[in-house]
Amino acid sequence: MIEANEDIRQAVREGYGRIATGTGKSCCGPSSCCGGTPCGGGDSGDAAARLAESVGYEAGDLAALPEGANMGLSCGNPVALASLREGVVVLDLGSGGGFDVFIAGRKVGPSGRVIGLDMTGEMVAKARKNIAAYRAAGGADNVEFRLGEIEHLPVADSSVDVVISNCVINLSPDKPQVWREIARVLKPGGRVAVSDLALLRPLPAEVRASVEALVGCIAGAVLVDETREMVRAAGLVEAEFESRSDYIASMSEWSDPLYREVAAKLPAGTGPADFVTSLSITARKPQA
């Protein structure tokens, strides 16, 4: 099991390393599909911005981002879910090029702190390179990026006010451990706000066996009910789950190549939106 889990991590690490350097694709979003050709038409930046706006990001927040931070990998808006306030410490799991970190950094202000964590060295390097542009555009000196796995967070116990994550936990081969780690690093009363992909019903085996579908955030997804149980088992309370299948429908409308490939392997008369949903999750760590 350990070897199998590491094989999955390595496949994801290599896939997202290629995305960070512009030599690969992920179809969590349309911007980097088709070997770099945007699925939604126009240039990849336009496609990434359209995707972000479709899941609730404000145009002003997107305009303030360093160039290349938005790679179109979102499936929701955890920053909005988190309702961040000034002065809090935020941890972003799977921070990529820094997209949500830089947006969150402006919301928590100079007295707050945002830590981005990613297991892909190329992503961490890309995000760190973007820090200078973030500061120059009026961002505070309040963001950092760490290399590490979301199953083993390099973060102290009870040190974070809010944990966010955007379309990443589905990639983990050990999701219960991720939720336990979230509970560990949150302060008593701290909150988690996650956007992720989840399943409404099991995917066919041939889809789950596809490495491209794994890197595209589909093959690694689990049932909504399984996610509920993992959150509960981690000791988090006041959990709320909101399903948004319109995200999946949008991907199909954009003629995303991975979603076309997945659709071809589904039972006749069904589509990706019948199986996969964007799931917004909020919960809280109990007070001590």
Cα 57 to Cα 78: distance, rounded to the nearest angstrom: 10
Cα 120 to Cα 109: distance, rounded to the nearest angstrom: 27
127 and 158 Cβ atoms separated by less than 8 Å: no
Range of lowest pLDDT (12-16, 55-59, 147-151, 235-239): 12-16
Model confidence, pTM = 0.86
Cα 252 to Cα 140: distance, rounded to the nearest angstrom: 38
Structure tokens at 225: 């009910």
| 3-state SS class at 87 | coil
Domains of the chain, start order: 2-284 (3.40.50.150)
Cα 256 to Cα 73: distance, rounded to the nearest angstrom: 13
pLDDT recorded at residue 43: 42
Give the side-chain half-sphere CA count within 13 A for 216.
Answer: 28
Distant-in-sequence, close-in-space partners of 188: CB < 8 Å, separation ≥ 6 = 158, 285, 286, 287, 288
Structure tokens at 161: 């006010």
pLDDT recorded at residue 45: 64
28 and 41 Cβ atoms separated by less than 8 Å: no
Would you say residue 182 has pLDDT above 90?
yes
Instruction: Please report which confidence band the pLDDT of residue 51 belongs to, taking 50, 70 and 90 as the band edges.
Output: confident
Range of lowest pLDDT (113-127, 188-202, 257-271): 257-271
Cα 140 off chain centre by: 23
Instruction: Please report which confidence band the pLDDT of residue 94 belongs to, taking 50, 70 and 90 as the band edges.
Output: very high
Distant-in-sequence, close-in-space partners of 97: CB < 8 Å, separation ≥ 6 = 20, 68, 69, 70, 71, 123, 126, 127, 130
| 3-state SS class at 160 | strand
